[in-house]
A and B are shown apart, each in its own frame.
Chain A
């Protein structure tokens, strides 16, 4: 597939649990973004990677959220001690570079019970 792939598509967890969300960007795209989208709202920026490094993590809401991209390709968003307020769609996007057109995946719907 040529698009951005996100897994799982749906994740249901219990309050206090740890979750990992995976993003497989378009091959060759150096920039990778994570956004979070609540029902009825626009996507909210979380973190931006350029290659392996987090170039901007100013959108991460608190230290329970962490993301990695160890080889400059696949990225994992990690959420510790999940809370009900973390329930949202988590979107990943990639681009050829900052400022270039973003290609989004279909997102992971996270539900914290």
Chain B
């Protein structure tokens, strides 16, 4: 079973900021949190990774509170092309630290 829980779907409009929160209550001390994006008919694509506090790159920001039991992916000013499935992953310590995908969050950006 995936170790993360995230909303099944979200809707937004172009130009808005989108925040997707993921819970990972059993995250281990050394685990990083990684987010992937997947478009139809493509494999997932790495977006961002973080351990604590805040990480920002050209695509997104990742906010991680002090207890690290959740994380929030923030997409600034989304466009139609951001419509995709977003996966939050932490290593599965019961499966050799493999990255186990859950169902992800289906983000629909509307005009």
- Assess the A99–B97 pair: CB atoms within 8 A: yes
**B28 on the A face (CB < 8 A):** no
- Assess the A103–B98 pair: CB atoms within 8 A: no
Q: Contacts A101-B49, A104-B44 given; indicate if A42 touches B101 (C-beta within 8 A).
A: yes
- Assess the B99–A58 pair: CB atoms within 8 A: no
**B81 on the A face (CB < 8 A):** no
Q: How far is the CA of A58 from the CA of B100 in the complex (A)?
A: 12
- Assess the A106–B42 pair: CB atoms within 8 A: yes
Task: Select B46's contact among A43, A101, A107, beta carbons within 8 Å.
Answer: A101
CB 8 Å contact bits of A15-57 with B (1 = contact, 0 = none): 0000000000000000001010000111111001000000110
A–B pairs, 28, beta carbons within 8 Å:
A33-B98, A40-B103, A41-B103, A43-B101, A45-B99, A45-B101, A48-B96, A48-B98, A55-B96, A56-B95, A56-B96, A56-B98, A58-B95, A58-B96, A91-B43, A93-B43, A98-B97, A99-B32, A99-B97, A101-B49, A102-B44, A103-B46, A104-B42, A105-B43, A106-B42, A106-B43, A107-B41, A107-B43
Query: CB within 8 Å of A: which of B6-57?
Result: 32, 34, 36, 41-46, 49
Q: How far is the CA of A40 from the CA of B32 in the complex (A)?
A: 26
- Residues of A with C-beta under 8 A to B44: 43, 91, 102, 104
Query: Closest B-chain residue to A35, C-beta based?
Result: B101
Query: Closest A-chain residue to B85, C-beta based?
Result: A42
Q: How far is the CA of A103 from the CA of B101 in the complex (A)?
A: 14
**Please, how many residues of chain B have a CB less than 8 angstroms from a CB on the other chain?**
24
**B87 on the A face (CB < 8 A):** yes
Q: Contacts A56-B96, A99-B97 given; indicate if A42 touches B2 (C-beta within 8 A).
A: yes
CB 8 Å contact bits of B80-111 with A (1 = contact, 0 = none): 00000101000100011111111110000000
- Residues of A with C-beta under 8 A to B42: 104, 106-107
Q: How far is the CA of A48 from the CA of B98 in the complex (A)?
A: 8
**A4 on the B face (CB < 8 A):** yes
- Residues of A with C-beta under 8 A to B85: 42
Task: Select B104's contact among A42, A56, A59, A98, beta carbons within 8 Å.
Answer: A42
